[in-house]
Structure 1
């Protein structure tokens, strides 16, 4: 199953390079800081069968922040704050270990869907230096924009 994720990642990177017509520039960007997780990312897509993104996050969009040097992540689910230990290996990423989270009451299902989906993520890719894609198996389940 993980092989399919890697194949999808290679395809997406190749597609982006072909589409822009700048394969060499994409390769150069891949070694620069713009392809690291470092920094803050705002959610702009999540796989939400039966409801829309706008309905789920009408007040505030979730975000996640990575401190790669300290091996930590933190963020906000649109309601509660969370933080944990960053566990990566190449393009693989794992949020299954318990992480800290505040426990305020949150209306709607947006927060639950965000946390449930985050825990299913198995890998990531960064396209154009500003788009973070979280992948579960071989399916893109979340997309963030660099802030």
Structure 2
């Protein structure tokens, strides 16, 4: 009887440890890279029409808890919070104020609603609303 309890507790501990390791590994992959948007859900305009000249980028700074990048036209920065696979962003603040079409507004509107993230088996960053992928980024650096 004691042997079965020990084996059960050992198995539970191993599963818990491996799940927490996966969470940490997933969030560690966010840092030290620039991510370029390759898909965004929602708009009826084709992706290439939204971002004809420059695709939005994002990079995560672990120390300052800020994201920085461009939204296809203007630079931006925002604070973010991570908790496991949950993520939230403050309102992005543009650093320049050029008007460049609808792509910028779609990007900023969507990123404010994101509440989860994952990095898939292809190494792509997915920003989600619940379980629905809203934005997908590929590493550029």
- For the criterion TM > 0.5, the same-fold answer is yes
Show CA shifts across 1:72-113 (max 9, x none).
Answer: 210100001111222111111101x23321242323200000
Cross-structure match for 1:105: 98
Distance change in 2, residues 1:129/1:35 (3 Å): farther
Matched residue SS, 2:34? strand
- Equivalent residue for 1:70? 64
Q: Counterpart in 2 of 1:127?
A: 120
Q: Is contact 2:59–2:67 with CA below 8 Å preserved after alignment? A: yes
Aligned to 1:145: 138
Residue 40 of structure 2 corresponds to which residue in structure 1?
A: 46
Which has the greater radius of gyration?
A: 2
Instruction: Tell me the equivalent position of 2:88.
Output: 94
Look up the SS of the partner of 1:112 in the other structure.
Answer: helix
Give me the TM-score of the superposition, normalised by structure 1.
0.72
2:52 equivalent in structure 1: 58
- What is aligned with 1:3? none
- 3-state SS of paired residue (1:119): helix
Contact map agreement 1:35 1:126 (CA 8 A) in 2: no
Secondary structure of the structure 2 residue equivalent to 1:125: strand
- For residues 91 and 62 of structure 1, the distance between their equivalents in structure 2, rounded to whole angstroms, comes to 22
Aligned-residue CA RMSD in angstroms?
Answer: 2.2
Higher relative contact order (CA 8 A, sep 6+): 1
Give unpaired runs (5+ residues) of structure 2: 1-18
Give the corresponding residue for 2:30: 37
Runs of 4+ in 1 over 3 A off after TM superposition: 29-35
Displacement after TM superposition at 1:36 (Å): 2.1
Q: Which runs of 5+ in 1 are unaligned?
A: 1-26
CA offsets 1:109-146 (integer angstroms, 9 cap, x no match): 00000000000100000013620001012211000001
